[in-house]
Structure 1
Amino acid sequence: MTIWNRALAAADAMEPGAVISVYDGTLRIEARGFADAEHTIALAPDAIFRMSSLSKPITALALILALEEHGIDLHAPVSTWLPELGTPRVLLDPTGDLDRTEPARRAITVEDLLTSRMGTGIVLAPPGSTPIQLEIERRGLVGFGPPNPAAPMDAESWIAQLGALPLLAHPGEQWLYSVSSNVQGVLVSRLSGMALSDFLAERIFEPLGMVDTGFSVPHMKLSRLTPAYSSAFALTDPAAGGAWSRPPSFEAGEGGLVSTAADYMAFVRMLHGERRLLSDRWIAAMLADHLDDRQRAHAAMFLDGRGWGYGLSVDAGRTPSDAMAGTIGWSGGLGASWISDLARGMAVLSLSSRALDDPEVYGGHLAIQRAALG
């Protein structure tokens, strides 16, 4: 049985269905099963999915392009362009009272954003169990939970509200998930003077031919957007009239994009060396592990021992000089997963309408990756 046939067989076990793509120098895409839990909508290869956290590598690429264009050093303080983050204070106890803080030991840098070490992110505690969680909820801040394009807050209000909160850790000291990618997107807009969506379209999507990727789905394409389900098949977002059927107030770099298999694999193939948008130096930095052992251990719930580059997971312990060897990738909690073996020139993408909030569902994605990569 060929690698492709093994991957298809694994995809057949995915409920309600999946679009899978394998790249090994040749790109293959196929749809298996259905888009909906009722098995009434057959999946098509050009189905549109909510990419959720697979948005992060694209947002990181956008920031790198903006940094390169403006000649900005990675160690520059972000407060130069985001004054809202200019005087951070840090909680003495991440689970404690909000008035018990100390000044940050240093400024938040551009690389802190790219490596998710700016000092704030998802709180690893039961929802609503700590003062900082309650304050985040009170302010209506996105980025600390699942993507929510329907949130009414725009980017300027969001960054102002974020800057008013204390950090959970000192800048550079801990890897904390998700929020940094939203700050990256706001910084891209400040540097370019463009909406994040416009910058992405001009600098990434158009050059790579990504014609179905964006922060919402136009009316004429809504029939291709799959419904979104929890792992238990509860409908969480319909296609027509759902949260992604209209442009959001806040274009969330951490999880707001929709895309197709062909589009996302165009981005992946760029990292493999096709239609390069970045120099080899920047690619090596993006795909290197920037975490130390302590930071990886603290992030084990998310990273499971792997490292973190700029917006994506990488093999732990690699240096920029050998970062092109080994695997990179990430997953999106609403039903997307991607892994690339750069040394072998292979990549696998799996897209489904069922969320990865259950080990069985996530195991289905891993089965496809193992079948394709061996």
Structure 2
Amino acid sequence: MSISGLSKARLLRMHDVMAGYVERGEVPGLVTLISRRGEVHVDLIGTQTFDQSSPIQRDTIFRISSMTKPIIAVATMILVEECKIRLDEQVDVLLPELAERQVLKRLDGPLDETIPAKRPITVRDLLTFRMGFGQLMAPPDAYPILNASNDQQIGMGPPSPSQMPPPDEWIRRLGRLPLMHQPGEQWMYNTGSDVLGVLIARASGQPLETFLRERIFEPLDMRDTSFRVPEASLDRLTTSYWRDPVSGKLTVYDKAVGGQWSRPPAFPSGAGGLVSTIDDYLAFGQIELTPFL
């Protein structure tokens, strides 16, 4: 047992579990980090891709997907603290595209069978994923609303920044669709954070990426956290894989050089668009926040 309380036996157990994913070919490599009472333990296992021998490094860059969401939540609360937005104010003022919502009578029903929303969407609804709209873990054609959402390319699947429209067009397309549930009545994942990204940009008067860089990343010295990876750092970006739903085999989802994160995104997704490193995210995880009421 170290002075900080880290157990060598448990760290070894964690290493064995994580190494198992690499040995079974489920991932090419990974990084784990534990920080406690000033002591930081980092474990590097495997390589950046399946087809080359470049080992995972402490400064390897990963697409952090939904780990983007906590960063967006903090950015939102910065604006709440500065009274530029309020938790329980309706978002219609800054996002008129989401005013006067209609709600599906039933989730599997046709898009024209709706009723008026009982109340507007609030900032709190977005933060708690209760805006009444979100991802459905179902085949793309399972529901008319899901089929329509995919047609509008508003991000109902894995992060895909180059295949989504710019923020103003994105929110306009979202505003065309009815809500799946009444605001505040149902938890639904993901979309609330993307809406927050558009809201942050409009409330701050800055592009989302600029606000995050100036207010969070630069103050915390998060040098590798962004919506894209510059050319000089692409050799540190991992290849992204996903499992083919038919064959069950891992296939390349996004490569490093020439991939979607090698250039500025059309849509900087607050739900899953950032890349980062283990030390950058440690810096974010160690910030001290004043409790918000």
TM-score (norm 2): 0.90
Of the three residues 241, 245, 270, the one matched with 2:258 is 241
After the TM superposition, which of the residue ranges 212-221 and 151-160 deviates more from structure 2? 151-160
- Alpha-carbon offset, residue 31 of structure 1: 1.3
Mapped to 2, the partners of 1:254 and 1:57 lie a distance apart of 9
- Alpha-carbon offset, residue 214 of structure 1: 0.5
Of the three residues 173, 183, 192, the one matched with 2:195 is 183
Over 3 Å counting, the alpha-carbon distance change for 1:126 and 1:218 in structure 2 is same
Match of 1:13 in 2: 20
Of the three residues 169, 182, 186, the one matched with 1:174 is 186
What is the SS of the residue equivalent to 1:95? coil
Say whether the 8 Å CA contact 1:4–1:22 is kept in structure 2: no
Over 3 Å counting, the alpha-carbon distance change for 1:71 and 1:246 in structure 2 is closer
Mapped to 2, the partners of 1:116 and 1:264 lie a distance apart of 23
What is the SS of the residue equivalent to 2:66? helix
Mapped to 2, the partners of 1:152 and 1:53 lie a distance apart of 17
What is the SS of the residue equivalent to 1:23? strand
Identity level (%): 43
Say whether the 8 Å CA contact 2:132–2:188 is kept in structure 1: yes
Match of 1:327 in 2: none
Does 2:71 match 1:54?
no
Q: Can you give the 5+ residue segments of structure 1 that lack an aligned partner in the other structure?
A: 271-275, 286-374
After the TM superposition, which of the residue ranges 30-39 and 77-86 deviates more from structure 2? 30-39
Q: Deviations over 1:261-293 (max 9, x none)?
A: 0001111112xxxxx2x31x22xx6xxxxxxxx
Task: Look at both structures and tell me which one has the larger radius of gyration over its CA atoms.
Answer: 2
Say whether the 8 Å CA contact 2:140–2:150 is kept in structure 1: no
Q: CA RMSD in A?
A: 1.4
What is the SS of the residue equivalent to 1:234? strand
Match of 1:79 in 2: 92
Q: Deviations over 1:173-229 (max 9, x none)?
A: 000010000001100000000011111111111111111000000000000000011
Mapped to 2, the partners of 1:174 and 1:11 lie a distance apart of 35
Mapped to 1, the partners of 2:139 and 2:132 lie a distance apart of 19
Mapped to 1, the partners of 2:73 and 2:282 lie a distance apart of 16
Mapped to 1, the partners of 2:9 and 2:136 lie a distance apart of 43
Does 2:163 match 1:140?
no
Pairing of 1:87-102 with structure 2 (within 5 A): 87-102=100-115
Does 2:234 match 1:222?
yes
Mapped to 1, the partners of 2:88 and 2:219 lie a distance apart of 29
Q: Can you give the 5+ residue segments of structure 2 that lack an aligned partner in the other structure?
A: 1-7, 23-27, 244-248
Amino acid in the other structure paired with 1:236: Y
- Alpha-carbon offset, residue 32 of structure 1: 1.1
Amino acid in the other structure paired with 2:165: M
Amino acid in the other structure paired with 2:282: M
> For this pair of structures, how many residues does the alignment match?
275
Amino acid in the other structure paired with 1:206: E
Amino acid in the other structure paired with 2:162: A
Does 2:270 match 1:253?
yes
Q: Deviations over 1:88-146 (max 9, x none)?
A: 0000011110000000001101100000000001124322122111211222222x111
- Alpha-carbon offset, residue 46 of structure 1: 0.7
Mapped to 1, the partners of 2:137 and 2:278 lie a distance apart of 32
Pairing of 1:104-143 with structure 2 (within 5 A): 104-142=117-155
Say whether the 8 Å CA contact 2:164–2:170 is kept in structure 1: no
What is the SS of the residue equivalent to 2:126? helix
Does 2:45 match 1:32?
yes
TM-score (norm 1): 0.71
Say whether the 8 Å CA contact 2:101–2:117 is kept in structure 1: yes
